[in-house]
Amino acid sequence: MGKTIEQIALQRGHVISYIIDRENAHELSLLLPTNTDVAIEFTSPERAFGHVQTCLLQGIPIVCGTTGWLKDKQQAEQLCLEMQGAFFYASNFSIGVNIFFRLNEYLATLMAQQPSYQASMEEIHHTEKKDAPSGTAITLAEGVIKHLRNLQLWVNEPAGKSNELSIISKREPEVAGTHSIFYNTAIDEIEIKHTAHSRNGFATGAVLAAEWIQGRRGVLGMADMLGF
């Protein structure tokens, strides 16, 4: 993702002030409003929160797409507000996926009137992805649970109780990301699916968010940028 974001940013006429990874992590302290307009954070769940904190404390707007660290997200949002900074988070920066989020919720409102259908989900990602289920799958699951009264939580396994939404996670080589939501009865099945063909959609969305966040403050997301 980092390399793809760099390529797209350069194609769009931006200058990369720093590229920070494990080998030069200490250079994060060098980011200042005088040398960096915005940071884009795509690393790992165990490092993301620290990076977000550092950028906010140093007055750098930050766009974060790392998933798997949401237990600390509320703390990051509070710090953003205290520092009067800008923190843009999305579980998925693809424009298509964010339209899919809306479609998922709309379908869930319709299915709320059809209790005979059993909802379930499946997500497939590349073998290097560390968190399961994906952040995108969790966002989709929350959208389903929000509208289906019989569901109270998601589980990353086959559902064992009637109030559980099952998410099956699969990891396969060279898969950018596929997410499916199913509604099943003995009579038929309804399925909606989003399939990413490459990482370019995610990277382009992240760069667009970095452009859009300029001059803005607060806790922001794709719904704000897309006007949903």
Residues identified as active-site: 125, 129
Closest CA to 14 of 39, 45, 43: 39
**Residue count of the chain:** 228
DSSP string, 144-191: HHHH-TT--EEESSS--STTEEEEEEEE-TT---EEEEEEE-SS-EEE
Distance of CA 10 to the CA centre of its chain: 23
Pairing outcome for strands 62-64 and 153-155: unpaired
Residue with tokens 């509320």: 74
